[in-house]
Amino acid sequence: MAEKKNIIQFEPEDFYHAVVDQMLFGVGLSVNHWARTKADAGKLVQQIEKGEIVPDVAIIDTMLEKNHHEGRVVAQKLREISPKTKLIAYTIVEQEPPSEDITEDWKQDHDWADYVAVKSNRNPAQTIAKGLSQIIGVDLDEKQKDPEFEAR
């Protein structure tokens, strides 16, 4: 089991929320608070400002409703009110072709995050499992393996 963490997620799509929650479930964690819209994000940020929620990790979709800079706005506010929170940018925007090296243009669009996770999972260095593993200190890729299947 992993050390308990207060994990929040700003994600409009149920599927990607479920992916993260299932990954965390395997190590006894879960997403504690979830914002689906900009309005939900505003309410969640207010709770953080009031000290009602103290997040350890925030997974932020780069686009909450209309453009890919909305995640940056949320991240900037979180940096201001909760500077110890680790931020993961969760994005559909990937480099072409996917590679281990991150280009400067791509990096500038995601420079607000401590870690960037690309939703396609085509680049093993930029998956949500890899980012969460680095931040929470548990190898989620390893925890997802089925020992019975691996023994075959």
Residue 129 lies in a domain: yes
pLDDT of the residue at 97: 47
- The mean pLDDT value for 30-38 works out to 95
Whether pLDDT at 31 is above 70: yes
pLDDT of the residue at 92: 82
Residue 106 lies in a domain: yes
**Is 68:109 a contact under the CB 8 Å cutoff?**
yes
CATH number of the domain where residue 45 is located: 3.40.50.2300
pLDDT of the residue at 151: 55
Cα gap 23→43, rounded to integer Å: 26
Residue 120 lies in a domain: yes
Strands 115-118 and 86-91, by their bridges, are parallel
Residue 48 lies in a domain: yes
Residue 89 lies in a domain: yes
What range does the domain containing 43 cover? 7-150
Cα gap 20→102, rounded to integer Å: 23
Q: Report the domain count for the chain.
A: 1
Residue 23 lies in a domain: yes
Both structure tokens of 128: 């949500």
Residue 71 lies in a domain: yes
Whether pLDDT at 62 is above 90: no
Residue 1 lies in a domain: no
Cβ contacts of residue 25 below 8 Å, gap of 6+?
none
Q: What is the chain's Cα-based Rg?
A: 15
Reported as a single tens digit per residue, the pLDDT across 95-148 is: 654 556 666 655 666 788 999 888 887 777 888 999 999 998 888 866 555 455
